[in-house]
Amino acid sequence: MRYTIEEIGKVVKEGDKTYLKIHPEFVDGLKGLNVGDWILLFLWFHRSDNPSMRAIKQVHPYGNPENPLTGVFATRSPVRPNPVGFYVVQILSIEGDTLEVSYIDAYPDTPIFDIKIFVERLDCPQKSPVDERKLRIRRRFQAGALNLIPSVDGRLVVELKGETEVLDTENVKKLRDFLSELAE
């Protein structure tokens, strides 16, 4: 089975700085991203995209032959059946179609094929304070970078700038009372 992946931009390197230059037809997709946000960045390691490199199933981690051969799925090697690169980076600046992000070791002109916002409860499951199946996602409230997600047990998940907190039922009631007073 074959799949199609659209390139949405390229990695640009200037000295020790890393930029993501987004193609014009995808710039509207940047709306809602802010300086300081953490994002998931998906790249295509085009320099590893050939039949011989895709056929490699074990590597010496970090390219060090003293490390034992390890299956590519247990490494971050760019040599793999599908040369997908994955990074968690912070947005340092946004200028039109260009994001400056924290340093990554990708080559200049590496194709970008997706960007997603980092969400602690989804992307750090060992830290997730609430079972995702117990959240009432469709009843969530969003205001700017703030997400409020109720759970079936009366708690409230509060997400802001990639950070997650959970309010117990007592604090949910206090918050409700506080917001009611503000509205008066």
User: Mind listing the pLDDT tens digit for each residue in 144-172?
Assistant: 778 888 888 888 988 887 678 889 889 98
Q: Taken in order 75, 80, 81, 83, is the CA torsion positive or negative? A: positive
Domain ranges of the chain: 9-118, 125-183
Mean pLDDT value across the chain:
89
**Residue 20: pLDDT band with limits 50, 70, 90:** very high
What pLDDT digit, counting tens, does each position of 59-96 carry? 987 787 878 899 999 888 889 999 999 999 999 999 99
Task: Name the residue with higher pLDDT: 80 or 136.
Answer: 80
Write down the pLDDT at residue 184: 84
CATH topology assigned to domain 9-118: Elongation Factor Tu (Ef-tu); domain 3 (2.40.30)
Residue 121 parent element (H or E): helix 120-123
Q: Contact, 153 vs 134, CB < 8 A?
A: yes
Instruction: Report DSSP letters for 13-58, one per residue.
Output: EETTEEEEEE-GGGGGGGTT--TT-EEEEEEE-GGG-SHHHHT--E
Residue 116: strand pairing partners: 40
Q: Is the pTM of this model over 0.95?
A: no
Question: With contact defined as beta carbons under 8 Å apart, do 12 and 21 qualify?
Answer: yes
Nearest one of 16, 90, 13, 7 to 42, comparing CA atoms: 7
pLDDT at position 23 over 90:
yes
Question: What's the confidence (pLDDT) of residue 40?
Answer: 97
Per-residue pLDDT, 74: 87
